[in-house]
DNA sequence: GTAAAAACTTCAAGTACTTTAAGTCAACGG
DNA sequence: CCGTTGACTTAAAGTACTTGAAGTTTTTAC
């Protein structure tokens, strides 16, 4: 490795591009304590993101994408600093995410079926095929019944 | 119940599941005038969604999914652009929605993998298995790369 | 039947960003 | 050196839901 360090740093714009989070959201997460205050430029007030910051932020972006709340993200990140001691709680937070994702996947399948039926419905409507329109309307209604067992 | 009539109506919960919009959002859209006030039960105050309401709402859900603002949705619906006469446009919207749902399903699978890896990561951390921790850290990073382009 | 549970209602307050306003700082052309 | 362009800063206001509380109604279970 060359020399002491490759202290590669990123501007907020680069950090936004790499995490997929808007710059405004990065500032927001910092302001509400999801992440610790980021370092600033010597002369300017501009935020300077390190590789370590970027690693953390990529993880935070993933959690945000699973719908984790800001307060849970705050907990999760704080626990991350604690290391192995907090493993149990981390696992619990993650298992809640897994459950939510599974439920979401089930609903998406139903919606895909529903959208498919509706496309056929509008084609039949445009074609003036009243019989088919009635059949598809009933099919859509049947799909509603499938929702109940999902609970 | 005798089969004299098939009312083809939906509760707010069914409407929510089929449109993909939460019940609270359906009420909200009604309150801010994106959709006209929905019919109510004879004896109760409960909303009763007809097939016509559902067709409109599915269209609205498509618009919402593409990030259209509430004020634009209001104007769009008021213009009748989501009426029965606009079957072609409905189909166009629904096909975009089908694509979006497919993309969402893919994304959810990736997120499920990410959460799974993170759970394993914390289990390995708790067990002090440094080799496994390193492997899972790398796996999480690889997966993060897959998520970026989708967003 | 009656009684508990689940689903619905409104309204107010909360959440998670997002945008806007007003200003600072750094780089480039003239 | 000076002006202008553009990225950055904070703070406050705005947007689009979301949740909670308190109270009906409908469904379920005995």
What's B15's domain CATH number? 1.10.1660.10
Q: Which pLDDT score is estimated for A5?
A: 39
Looking at the fold, whether B5 and B46 belong to one and the same domain comes out as yes
Does the C-beta of A13 come within 7 A of strand D?
Answer: yes
Q: Domain check: are B111 and B150 in the same one?
A: yes
The answer to whether residues B133 and B67 belong to one domain is no
In a domain, B89, yes or no: no
B14 and B42 assigned to the same domain: yes
More confident position, A112 or B67: A112
* B87 pLDDT tier (thresholds 50, 70, 90): confident
Query: In this structure, is the CB of residue B137 within 7 Å of any atom belonging to strand D?
Result: no
Residues with CB under 7 A from strand C: A 22, 24-25, 28-29, 32, 41, 43-45, 64, 69-71; B 11-13, 23, 27, 40, 44-47
Long-range contacts of A14-20 (CB under 8 A, 24+ apart): A14/A49, A15/A47, A15/A49, A15/A53, A15/A54, A15/A57, A18/A54, A18/A57, A18/A58, A18/B148, A19/A54, A19/A57, A19/A58, A19/A60, A19/A61, A20/A61, A20/B147, A20/B148, A20/B151
Asked if residue B97 belongs to a domain, the reply is: no
pLDDT in tens, A66-102: 788 898 899 888 887 767 777 888 888 788 778 777 8
Task: Please report which confidence band the pLDDT of residue B98 belongs to, taking 50, 70 and 90 as the band edges.
Answer: confident
Instruction: Tally A–B CB contacts below 8 A.
Output: 120
Highest mean pLDDT among A40-44, B53-57, B89-93 belongs to B53-57
Residue B33 lies in a domain: yes
C-beta separation of B12 from B49 below 8 A: yes
* Residue B12, in any domain of the structure: yes
Q: At what angle do helices A23-31 and A12-19 cross, to 10 degrees?
A: 100
Quote the pLDDT of residue B36. Answer: 93
Q: Is residue B93 part of a domain?
A: no
Same domain, B28 and B76: yes
**In the 3-class helix/strand/coil scheme, how is chain A assigned residue by residue?**
CCCCCCCCEECHHHHHHHHCCCHHHHHHHHHCCCCCCCCECCCCCCECEEHHHHHHHHHHHHHHHCCCCHHHHHHHHHHHHHHHHHHHHHHHHHHHHHHHHHHHHHHHHHHHHHHHHHHHHHHHHHHCCHHHHHHHHHHHHHHHHHHHHHC
Identify whether residues B144 and B75 lie together within a single domain: no
Q: Are residues B125 and B77 in the same domain?
A: no
- Chain B neighbours among A 105-124 (CB < 8 Å)? 105, 107-112, 114-116, 118-119, 121-123
Domain end among B50, B82, B114: B82
Write out the residue range of the structural domain in which residue B47 sits.
Answer: 1-82
Residue B49 and residue B107 in one domain = no
Q: Domain for residue B35, yes or no? A: yes
pLDDT value of residue A131: 93
Tell me how far apart the terminal alpha carbons of chain B are, to the nearest angstrom: 49
Looking at the structure, tell me whether residues B65 and B115 fall in a common domain: no
**Do the domain assignments include residue B96?**
no
Residue B141: inside a domain = yes
Number of structural domains chain B divides into: 2
Stretches where chain A sits below pLDDT 50 are 1-6, 149-151
Q: Are B5 and B49 part of one and the same domain? A: yes
- Does B140 lie in the same domain as B107? yes
- B78 with B17, same domain: the answer is yes
pLDDT at residue B113 is higher than 80: yes
């Amino acid at each position: 490795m060359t020399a002491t360090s490759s202290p590669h740093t990123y501007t907020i714009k680069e950090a936004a591009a790499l995490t997929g989070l808007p710059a405004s959201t990065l500032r927001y997460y910092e302001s509400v304590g999801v992440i610790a205050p980021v370092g600033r430029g010597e002369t300017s007030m501009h935020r300077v993101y390190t590789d370590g910051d970027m690693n953390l932020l990529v993880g935070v972006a993933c959690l945000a994408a699973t719908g984790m709340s800001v307060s849970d993200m705050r907990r999760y990140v704080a626990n991350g600093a604690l290391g192995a001691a907090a493993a149990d709680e981390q696992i619990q937070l993650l298992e809640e995410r897994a459950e939510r994702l599974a439920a979401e996947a089930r609903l998406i399948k139903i919606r895909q079926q529903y959208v498919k039926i509706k496309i056929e419905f509008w084609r039949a409507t445009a074609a003036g095929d009243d019989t088919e329109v009635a059949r598809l309307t009933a099919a859509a209604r049947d799909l509603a019944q499938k929702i109940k067992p999902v609970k």
